[in-house]
Amino acid sequence: QVQLVESGGGVVQPGGSLRLSCEASGFTFSHYGMHWVRQAPGKGLEWVALVAYEGSNKYYVDSVKGRFTISRDNSRNMLYLQMNSLRAEDTAVYYCAKDWAELLFNYYYMDVWGKGTTVTVSS
Amino acid sequence: DIVMTQSPDSLAVSLGERATINCKSSQSVLYTSNNKNYLAWYQQKPGQPPKLLIYWASTRESGVPDRFSGSGSGTDFTLTISNLQAEDVAVYYCQQYYSSPPRTFGQGTKLEIK
């Protein structure tokens, strides 16, 4: 079945770095754009980043530009989020999600979500 | 960026009754070239990730009960849950996918049983 499994979360000090991973299975990973979405404790959903199906185009929410980098390895069915210069406000559950559109450079809604990995930024 | 605003922030509805959640976008999400509204609804139950309910404003995702329906066009949209069941307790989010990223969500509406 279609599945996304995130890993790599943890506790990190302000200014530190962390790399999140998302392993995909059950679908042709290399055909779909992939998103990261986060949810701070008790708050709503915030879209963070998107990478095109072949890895060329990348988009970020303004608050993480220059600090976070989204990437993918289609040979390993893996999605990544490198997070540098972490701040307290980055504390959240981070979800990876699959875009609906196949082999397109247009991006739509998220039809499959992982269970999330928790990132806590605290001294 | 397109801002999505949901109302109300929370509501309590009796079992078997109808729940109505509204979503308003700061600009139209209707593409006139294909007459499609680029809006989705998600359900998030406590302790779970979000789940896609509806896309193109009114198309139910496979497996979603038909008591869930979406309507609206342009800037104003509604998620209606008929015959409310206990398992429908959740937070519901709308999301636009009209423009180039960023993707934006509404702030969420918490649905409880009265």
CB contact under 8 A, A62 and B102: yes
How far is the alpha carbon of A61 from chain B, nearest alpha carbon, in Å? 6
Looking at CA atoms only, how far is residue A21 from chain B in angstroms? 17
The pLDDT value recorded for residue B93 is 98
Beta-carbon contacts below 8 Å between A and B:
61
Q: What are phi and psi of B103, to 5 degrees?
A: -85, 140
Q: Hey, are the CB atoms on A44 and B52 less than 8 Å from each other?
A: no
| A113: nearest CB among B50, B55, B97 | B50
Q: What is the pLDDT of residue B100?
A: 83
Q: B107 is written with which tokens?
A: 């702030």
Q: What are phi and psi of A102, to 5 degrees?
A: -105, 125
Torsion of CA B59, B13, B84, B43, to 10 degrees: 40
pLDDT digits (tens, 9 = 90+) for B68-99: 999 999 999 999 999 999 999 999 999 999 98
pLDDT digits over A19-62, tens only?
999 999 999 999 999 999 999 999 999 999 999 999 999 999 99
Neighbouring CB atoms inside 10 A of A113's CB total 21
- In single-letter form, the type of residue at position B44 comes to Q
% of chain B with per-residue pLDDT over 90:
96
Nearest Cβ partner for B40 among A59, A61, A109: A109
